[in-house]
Amino acid sequence: MSNVRVRIAPSPTGFLHIGTAKTALINWLFARKTGGTFILRLEDTDVERSKDEYAEAMCEGLQWLGIDWDEGPEFGGVPEKGALGPYKQSMRKDLYIQEANRLLAEGKAYKCFCTKEELDAMREKAAAEKRPPRYEGPWRDASSEQVAAMGDAPYAVRFRVPEGVTEILDLVQGTVRIENKEIDDFIIVKPNGEPLFHLAVVVDDGLMQITHVMRGDDHLTNAVRHVLLFKALGYALPQFAHLPMVLDETGKKYSKRLHGANVLDWRDDGYLPETIINYVVLLGWTPAEEGRELFSREELIEAFTLDRLGQSAAKFDLKKLQWLNGQHIRRLTPESLRDRVLPILQKAGLDALSKSPEWLAKMAAICQEKIPTLNDIVAYTDFFFRDVEAYEEKAVNKHFKAEGAVERVSALREMMASVATWDHDTLKAAYEAKAAESGFSLGQFVHPTRLALTGKSVGPGLFELAELLGKDTCLARMDKAIAYIKSL
């Protein structure tokens, strides 16, 4: 195992957002590529908004994508994993207070007894003078006697920002240099004893020995405070990579109210997890192999390198996602496709278990090249599980109301009845021969037959589906269609 230790640190205040999934994926790929460790840490300090069911939903989203964690909290009956836990911030409060006390003892932080009124006044004064608000209270330089004189009065712990310049060497954003005097002495523990985000995240990353902090670029402005805290606490400084957000199709930040913001929406829509990880990584990373878009999970791990992470945010492109899904469906084995569509068929009320596993694999195989999402399997195969009750109106006008339709469909029915063996090749040869001798196009035979057998104008290849449907059913459906055409 390498020493690479990376993490995803979501706040469980909602579902797994597509942007968080992208960040998780990049960290996970890097860990898997380098033989490092991928950690899941729940930043659940916001007690008002954090909920166990959100944590569960996030874990479920990661699990669906196949982003497995080596260290992380208890989930779904699997106990917490890892030696540097706990992996929920709500269980780590003592560590934050211990580290804040260390900073206080070393003079790197100080107790600030300013009241809310005093702080408001400072803020108003700064606003009136049109400058950013700064802490200008007396406690930065207070003597130990002054502090002792305050007795049990509540205080905030403020970080004493040192003089100088801070640099963030960001793998994506380049070097960001900030004068420390731009940074106010910020609070790390509130007067009620609650540690704040900056302290918690740095203590966690430091004590969990994180080597690379890769997260959304909304945290870039926080990173300077984090670098200062890393140094003050004496932790090894990780590498930083601040990754661009995912944008929607109009170029705006992908709102959590939009369909698809929740990763599991894609599962409901019949997308494969393989597709989503392939697609999502391409929103922030370009492969070395120019123009290549299709990657399996293993191929992504193989190809992934940090130096090809992009700086600008990519727009979501549903067309490309749909195309990729079709490609990934084609890459499955028929058995795997069968297993994935089985619950979808059952949910649609189709009695799929009435067929053998071998038959269902054949059915999956003949749809594999055609269906854009797993959910399309229902429209492509429902006629296998129930009789044709209606025919598509447009197709009826075109194929059943055509001149000589009854004669043609009847002739096809007789031909079907007389074929020597009921299989794809024999049926195809018979249809082709009949078309050649009759002067009709093959389509003029195929389309009405498809309509008779399935009630539809699109679906799997006709001869494949006819073979699977079986001779008796096909003949019965041809008879029914002939009766119907006569009634028109």
Residue (240 or 271) nearer to ligand GLU, CB: 240
How many Å separate Cα 338 from the centre of its chain? 23
**Residue 219 or 340 having the CB closest to ligand GLU:** 219
Q: How far is the CB of 245 from ligand GLU (least distance, A)?
A: 11
Determine the straight-line distance between the first and last CA of the chain, rounded to whole angstroms.
73
One-letter amino acid at 396 equals V
Q: Are 46 and 78 in contact (CB under 8 A)?
A: no
Interface with ligand GLU, residue 198, by CB under 6 A: no
- The closest residue (CB) to ligand GLU is 215
220-233 and 93-105 are packed helices; what angle lies between their axes, rounded to 10 degrees? 70
Q: Which of 5, 6, 11, 211 binds ligand GLU (CB under 6 A)?
A: 11
Stretch that binds ligand GLU, among 5-13, 90-98, 412-420, 421-429 (CB under 6 A): 5-13
| Least distance in angstroms from the C-beta of 202 to ligand GLU | 9
At residue 40, φ and ψ (nearest 5 deg) are -105, 125
Q: Cα–Cα distance between 79 and 103 in angstroms, integer?
A: 33
**270: Cβ contacts below 8 Å, ≥ 6 apart:** 325, 344, 373, 374, 375, 376, 377
Question: Please, what is the minimum distance in Å from the beta carbon of residue 11 to ligand GLU?
Answer: 4
DSSP 150: T
- Binding letters toward ligand GLU, positions 216-255, x by CB under 6 A: x--x------------------------------------
- The 32-51 site mask, x for binding ligand GLU (CB under 6 A), equals -----------x--------
Break the chain down into helix, strand, coil percent, rounded to 5.
Answer: 50, 10, 35
| Separation between Cα atoms, residue 264 and residue 277, nearest integer Å | 12
Is 256 designated active site? yes
User: Of residues 252, 256, 315, 401, which has the active-site annotation?
Assistant: 256
Backbone torsions φ then ψ of 327, nearest 5 degrees: -65, -45
Among 8, 10, 60, which Cα is nearest to 30's?
Answer: 8
- Report how far residue 451's alpha carbon sits from residue 468's, in angstroms, rounded to the nearest whole number: 16
Piece in contact with ligand GLU (CB under 6 A), picked from 59-67, 158-166, 212-220, 438-446: 212-220
Query: How far is 457 from 451, CA to CA, in rounded Å?
Result: 6
Residue 94's contacts (CB-CB under 8 Å, 6 or more residues apart) are none
Least distance to ligand GLU from the beta carbon of 10, Å? 5
Touching ligand GLU, residues 376-405 (CB under 6 A): none
Separation CA 72–CA 109 (nearest Å): 31
Contact stretch for ligand GLU (CB under 6 A) within 7-15, 301-309, 447-455, 476-484: 7-15
Residue in 215, 355, 408, 477 binding ligand GLU, rule: CB under 6 A = 215
Q: Which of 3-11, 290-298, 333-341, 378-386 is the region at the interface with ligand GLU (rule: CB under 6 A)?
A: 3-11
Residues 128-147 that bind ligand GLU (CB under 6 A): none
Which of 7, 413 has the CB closer to ligand GLU?
Answer: 7
Yes or no: say if 31 and 37 are a contact pair by the CB < 8 Å rule: yes
Minimal distance in Å, beta carbon 35 to ligand GLU? 22
In angstroms, give the least distance from the CB of 17 to ligand GLU. Answer: 9
Residue 121 vs 220, nearer CB to ligand GLU = 220
CA distances 364 to 317, 349, 376, Å, are 27, 17, 11
Part of the chain binding ligand GLU (CB under 6 A), chosen from 24-32, 214-222, 232-240, 432-440? 214-222
Hey, which residues are catalytic here? 256
- Residue ranges that bind ligand GLU, judged by CB under 6 A: 9-11, 43, 201, 215-216, 219
